[in-house]
Amino acid sequence: MSYVGPDFEPSQPRRPRRGPLTVALAALVPGALLGWVVYEAVGGGSGGGSDRTAAAATPSGTAPVPSSPTDSAAGSPADDGKRASKAPGPASLKGKVVVIDPGHNQGNFQHTAEINRKVDIGTNKKECDTTGTSTNAGYTEARFTLDVAHRLRTLLQKQGATVKLTRDGDSPAWGPCVDQRARIGNDAHADAAISIHADGSAAGNRGFHVILPGTVHAGAADTRPIMGPSRDLGTRIAGTFLRDTGEPPSNYVGEGTGLVTRTDLGGLNLSTVPKVFIECGNMRDSKDAALLTSDAWRQKAAQGMSDGIVSFLHES
């Protein structure tokens, strides 16, 4: 999602001012880099290789690697990957609600007027939705996200969770708009929500990143109540996604942490429930594209997301 659009304006990496959230995120850094090194060292990286330029992004901070992953109160991605593996068995999530948001829609290509309509995301107005990106061979982001969403739904339902999708199959024919996607999670009183995407950055840019909500308090948007739990959810997913897929953290955003904070995404700004985005890999890079188009790897991606969500729900 490296194009200009509602929830996908590319974020230009820059070194932001360090504030309270920077300090909080600083302790999360080692999990992605150190965790990957350990993972590769034991031969776990054979299933994956390494998600989307982000221009109007506002990363609220990523910081240098501290000396120990245990410095973080929320836990590092590597730590959370280990914790998730100890989660209780099937039907342990009975009563929990998870909303999965497969990014974009195949029908958006035929409904450009509808998806170009501006909607209010709290801080400003943006397009209802966009078409998404694709691999050079034409495998679309919309197909990828729905496939992974179906796999993730199956895994979570086996754990006893109630799962709702913002779109499924050919319904709706286009969209939904980004504000509607947030509303679906809110109306479901979701215990956790995840929006699934893949990037369209330049070749050579590889890896995944999880996008966390930044501080937004404007118009209809107020992310302050969900920032803490969303950060916890995103950190756990980053750890288990790394562990299960072998895909390393992004080498072009997030400074190697696998975590990026943004305030320009309507799907996060308007959410009242814990929610994150995940960019699973870069569709425009040949190595990442080979993974994203693999059935076996997409199953690993769904497993990585599921493990992180399960871990979060057991602790929340």
Which residues are designated catalytic? 279
Angle separating helix axes 77-84 and 295-315, nearest 10 degrees: 90
Q: How far apart are CA 226 and CA 77, in angstroms?
A: 19
Q: How close are the terminal C-alpha atoms of the chain, in Å? A: 30
Angle at 98 between CA 261 and CA 282, to 5 degrees: 45
Cα–Cα dist 137/111, whole Å: 22
**Cα separation, 51 vs 281, whole angstroms:** 4
Q: Which residue, among 181, 315, 163, 294, has the nearest Cα to 239 in the 3D structure? A: 315
Q: Between 227-245 and 295-315, two packed helices, what is the crossing angle to 10 degrees?
A: 140
Question: Rounded to whole angstroms, what are the CA distances from 199 to 1, 33, 263, 278?
Answer: 4, 20, 18, 10
CB 268 within 8 A of CB 211: yes
SS3 per-residue string spanning 6-32: CCCCCECCCCCCCCHHHHHHHCCHHHH
Q: What crossing angle do the helices spanning 77-84 and 29-41 adopt, rounded to 10°? A: 60
Distance CA 207, CA 282 (A): 7
- Closest C-alpha among 212, 242, 251, 221 to residue 22: 212
Residues recorded for the chain: 316
